[in-house]
């Protein structure tokens, strides 16, 4: 085993004597690992700035952020998912473990919340077993000092066998020293000094017995034998298969584990956890002096008396979200979207005038103005909505409030197979499905993420409100508000029912344990918020000029040409109208028998507001007279059936494109879209059938 040269005192002298980092550094790949809410995102943003890109880890939808470290030329930093252990309960834990073992980064930067050091060091001990050059970043030291606490960094470094650097990521303190140490351990391949975290006893004997059994297998797969031994003791069957253990070796391991459990009086997981926490407690007794009063914790507990109250927590949360929605949709975005729309309209008018003066072919002219500008322009009007909404959500996340909401909502949502974190995307879905699907990235489980993505379209987005308003005014008179409320509640009820059904069919399985640490309330990092908003805006603009742009061009083509590819002057002769007539027999059981009504549903794929505008164009009436015109095409019952179908059928093309990106599967997205349309038809048919029996 390679040992670091010199003791703790010498280590600290070398840290102080490191020269400034030069501009020509060798390229390294560092991995950033740590608990959730430990300041990992803030540290990542401080080290990389805007020089980062977001992708996905292979085979999963979990974000993989990779950035160029600003102060180390050619060095890259990979932000691993926030986890509490490397026992693979969740996809995030599995990703972190496999990345470190398979990719073998040059060094690990393990960030630890110094205000909650004992809990955070549990992950540290597991990372040290993986035998990767490691530096521990002791974050939030400014809060420790402010509370009158003290941490002996040298004693902590000596006890763990790795360099320990005190930092404050939010204040940009200690980061230069952190990079010096990360570069040094990477250059010299300095492995952690310590491998054992337990004294003589049954746990010690069991680990060494299992290590001896699997040593050859571990070496063959380049796995650290001690790490593999602890995972096998914990019952990691996937790792046992990966190592290729035979039945005899498995029996030897099980015999050692049973013997350990008998001597300890604890099961295997309790014994290993007790071993680690006993070591951590002894280490902290030597190196940590806690402050007499923790102002942040005292302040957080006072706020939590209201925000996590058994009765008031949920009403307060809905009130906060209501305020956010009001500010987003009625105050901020109202004028921002109008301003952006005016700008797009101004550019479109100028281009239209220039093309007219140029005498461009009318078909190409229509393609540019009616296709590109009208299609992409209408989608870009959602950009202020997405940016503003994610601004508020990122502030709630950074302050620590979202962790409380996940805790409060976990119990009721777990009954239908979802995590407490799923409540946020569901609520955002009432505003817009696109940011709702994007916000599922905050969910820790890939299973919960997929279920929530498929659930969000059941929430009535704001784009459907014009449709509800027009039909309610036409057919339900003074009961308009009641009709809209019923539609909203129906969407929620059916979504919950589908989630419950999915929990017992497609998404059947063991839910990941809900492990959540409630951090102290803190002021959000403006830099982190700004980077997040830039990422969301960039992703949306990219989609607007790719998938969404192509989809709008397809709709323009269908509206502009007939079956013989001749330009049409009357939209009733277009391919889109023909498609509407082709689909009309399918909607006859719902009481919908006019091709113009089904054509409006097809155009609603671009944006749900297009249903109303298309009906106005096809019926050749001003928008103010549309409710009267619709009365000749519907009965109140068929209108109700039509509204139910609008409520439940597939969302707009922007949401479909987002769904495809998050599910990372075109086939899964296609099946979801077809399934939503079939389900919408079935429910609308039941409404029409049962309503006919009652009426």
Fold classification of 202-289 is Helix Hairpins (1.10.287)
* Whole-number Å distance between alpha carbons of 413 and 371: 43
Asked if pLDDT for residue 61 goes beyond 50, the answer is: no
Question: What is the separation of C-alpha 325 from the centre of its chain, rounded to a whole number of angstroms?
Answer: 20
- pLDDT by residue (tens digit) across 282-317? 999 999 887 655 666 777 778 888 888 878 888 888
Q: Are 210 and 258 in contact (CB under 8 A)?
A: no
Going by pLDDT thresholds of 50, 70 and 90, the confidence category of residue 334 is: low
- On the 0-12 / 13-18 / 19+ scale of CB atoms within 10 A, 199 is exposed
- On the 0-12 / 13-18 / 19+ scale of CB atoms within 10 A, 357 is exposed
Going by pLDDT thresholds of 50, 70 and 90, the confidence category of residue 182 is: very high
Q: What letter does residue 101 receive in the DSSP assignment?
A: I
Q: What letter does residue 86 receive in the DSSP assignment?
A: S
- The label of the residue with tokens 């308003």 reads 469
Going by pLDDT thresholds of 50, 70 and 90, the confidence category of residue 678 is: very high
Q: In what order do the strands lie in the sheet with 164-166?
A: 52-56, 63-68, 76-79, 29-34, 107-113, 134-139, 164-166
Question: Please, what's the largest Cα pairwise distance for the chain?
Answer: 92
**Residues 6 or more apart in contact with residue 87 via CB below 8 angstroms:** 93, 126, 231, 234, 236
3-state secondary structure of 282: helix
* Whole-number Å distance between alpha carbons of 399 and 524: 5
Which uninterrupted H or E stretch holds 53?
strand 52-56
Q: Specify the pLDDT at position 633.
A: 87
- pLDDT by residue (tens digit) across 84-132? 888 766 667 788 888 898 889 999 999 999 988 988 999 999 999 999 9
* Whole-number Å distance between alpha carbons of 86 and 122: 10
Q: Do domains 8-188 and 202-289 have the same CATH topology?
A: no
Token pair in block for residue 334? 């109202």
Q: What letter does residue 168 receive in the DSSP assignment?
A: B
**How high is the mean pLDDT of the chain?**
79
* Whole-number Å distance between alpha carbons of 79 and 519: 20
Q: What letter does residue 85 receive in the DSSP assignment?
A: -
Asked if pLDDT for residue 46 goes beyond 70, the answer is: yes
Q: 265-274 long-range contacts, Cβ below 8 Å, gap at least 24?
A: 268/233, 268/234, 268/235, 269/234, 269/235, 271/202, 271/203, 271/206, 272/203, 272/230, 272/233, 272/234, 273/122, 274/203
* Whole-number Å distance between alpha carbons of 324 and 430: 12
The residue ranking higher by pLDDT, 139 or 27, is 139
Token pair in block for residue 219? 């070496």
Asked if pLDDT for residue 6 goes beyond 50, the answer is: no
Of 356-370, 467-481, 502-516, 606-620, least confident by mean pLDDT is 502-516
Going by pLDDT thresholds of 50, 70 and 90, the confidence category of residue 31 is: very high
CATH code of the domain made up of 8-188: 3.40.50.300
Q: In Å, how far are 201, 227, 591 from 264, measured between CA atoms?
A: 9, 21, 71
Size of the chain in residues: 695
3-state secondary structure of 76: strand
Asked if pLDDT for residue 216 goes beyond 50, the answer is: yes
Going by pLDDT thresholds of 50, 70 and 90, the confidence category of residue 407 is: confident
Pick from 2-16, 336-350, 485-499 the range whose average pLDDT is largest: 485-499
**Residues 6 or more apart in contact with residue 548 via CB below 8 angstroms:** 375, 376, 379, 653, 654, 657
Pick from 576, 577, 570: nearest CA to 556: 576
Mean pLDDT of 358-366: 82
Going by pLDDT thresholds of 50, 70 and 90, the confidence category of residue 603 is: confident
* Whole-number Å distance between alpha carbons of 631 and 653: 29
Dihedrals φ, ψ of 8, to 5°? -65, -40
Token pair in block for residue 426? 């569901």
Mean pLDDT of 158-173: 92
Domain ranges in the chain are: 8-188, 202-289, 536-694
Q: Specify the pLDDT at position 185.
A: 94
First to last CA, the chain: 83
**Residues 6 or more apart in contact with residue 362 via CB below 8 angstroms:** 567
3-state secondary structure of 219: helix
Mean pLDDT of 263-278: 88
Of 467-471, 496-500, 528-532, least confident by mean pLDDT is 528-532
CA-derived radius of gyration, the chain: 30
User: Secondary structure of 98-149 in the HEC alphabet?
Assistant: HHHHHHCCCEEEEEEEHHHHHHHHHHHHHHHCCCCCEEEEEECHHHHHHCCC
Of 37-46, 213-222, 354-363, 563-572, least confident by mean pLDDT is 563-572
Going by pLDDT thresholds of 50, 70 and 90, the confidence category of residue 26 is: low
Q: Specify the pLDDT at position 404.
A: 79
267: which strand partners? none
């Amino acid at each position: 085993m390679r040992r670091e040269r010199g003791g703790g005192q010498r280590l600290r002298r070398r840290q102080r004597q490191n020269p400034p980092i030069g501009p020509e550094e060798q390229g390294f790949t560092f991995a950033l690992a740590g608990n959730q809410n430990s300041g990992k995102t803030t540290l990542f943003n401080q080290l990389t700035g805007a020089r980062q890109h977001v992708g996905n880890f292979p085979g999963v939808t979990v974000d993989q952020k990779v950035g160029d470290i600003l102060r180390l030329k050619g060095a890259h930093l990979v932000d691993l998912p926030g986890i509490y252990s490397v026992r693979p309960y969740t996809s995030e834990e599995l990703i972190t473990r496999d990345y470190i073992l398979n990719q073998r980064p040059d060094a690990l930067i393990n960030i630890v919340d110094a205000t909650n050091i004992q809990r955070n060091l549990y992950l540290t001990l597991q990372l040290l077993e993986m035998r990767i050059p490691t530096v521990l970043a002791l974050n939030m030291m400014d809060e420790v000092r402010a509370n009158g606490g003290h941490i002996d960094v040298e004693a902590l470094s000596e006890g763990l066998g790795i360099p320990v650097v005190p930092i404050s990521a939010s204040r940009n303190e200690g980061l230069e020293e952190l990079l010096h140490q990360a570069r040094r351990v990477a250059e010299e391949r300095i492995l952690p000094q310590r491998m054992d975290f337990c004294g003589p006893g049954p746990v010690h004997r069991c680990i060494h017995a299992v290590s001896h059994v699997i040593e050859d297998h571990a070496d063959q797969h380049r796995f650290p034998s001690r790490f593999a031994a602890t995972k096998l003791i914990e019952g990691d069957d996937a790792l046992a298969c990966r190592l290729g253990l035979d039945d005899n070796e498995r029996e030897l391991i099980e015999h050692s584990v049973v013997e350990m459990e008998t001597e300890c009086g604890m099961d295997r997981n309790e014994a290993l956890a007790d071993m680690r926490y006993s070591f951590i407690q002894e280490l902290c007794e030597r190196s940590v002096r806690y402050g007499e009063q923790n102002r942040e914790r005292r302040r957080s507990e006072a706020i939590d008396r209201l925000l996590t109250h058994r009765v008031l927590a949920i009403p307060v949360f809905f009130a906060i979200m209501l305020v956010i929605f009001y500010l987003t949709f009625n105050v901020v975005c109202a004028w921002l979207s109008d301003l952006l729309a005016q700008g797009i309209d101004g550019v479109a008018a100028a281009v239209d005038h220039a093309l007219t003066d140029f005498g461009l072919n009318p078909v190409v002219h229509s393609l540019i103005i009616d296709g590109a500008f009208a299609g992409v322009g209408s989608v870009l009007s959602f950009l202020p909505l997405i940016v503003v909404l994610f601004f508020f959500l990122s502030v709630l996340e950074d302050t620590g409030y979202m962790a409380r909401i996940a805790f409060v909502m976990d119990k009721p949502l777990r009954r239908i197979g979802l995590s407490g974190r799923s409540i946020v995307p569901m609520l955002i879905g009432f505003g817009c499905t696109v940011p709702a699907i994007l916000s599922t990235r905050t969910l820790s489980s890939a299973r919960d993420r997929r279920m929530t993505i498929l659930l969000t379209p059941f929430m009535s987005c704001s784009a459907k409100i014009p449709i509800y308003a027009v039909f309610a005014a036409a057919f339900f008179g003074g009961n308009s508000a009641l009709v809209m409320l019923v539609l909203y509640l129906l969407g929620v009820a059916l979504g919950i029912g589908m989630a419950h059904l999915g929990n017992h069919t497609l998404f059947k399985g063991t839910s990941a344990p809900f492990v959540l640490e409630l951090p102290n309330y803190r002021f959000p990092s403006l830099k982190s918020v700004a980077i997040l908003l830039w990422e969301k805006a960039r992703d949306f603009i990219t989609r607007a000029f790719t998938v969404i742009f192509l989809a709008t061009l397809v709709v323009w083509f269908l509206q502009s040409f007939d079956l013989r590819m001749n330009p049409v002057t009357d939209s009733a002769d277009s391919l889109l109208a023909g498609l509407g007539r082709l689909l009309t027999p399918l909607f006859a059981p719902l009481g919908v028998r006019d091709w113009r009504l089904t054509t409006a549903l097809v155009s609603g794929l671009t944006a749900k507001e297009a249903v109303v505008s298309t009906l106005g164009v096809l019926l050749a009436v001003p928008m103010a007279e549309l409710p009267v015109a619709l009365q000749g095409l519907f009965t109140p019952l068929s209108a109700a059936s039509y509204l139910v179908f609008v409520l439940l059928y597939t969302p707009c093309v922007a949401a479909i494109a987002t769904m495809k990106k998050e599910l990372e599967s075109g086939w899964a997205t296609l099946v979801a879209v077809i399934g939503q349309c079939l389900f919408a038809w079935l429910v609308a048919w039941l409404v029409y059938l049962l309503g006919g029996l009652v009426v």
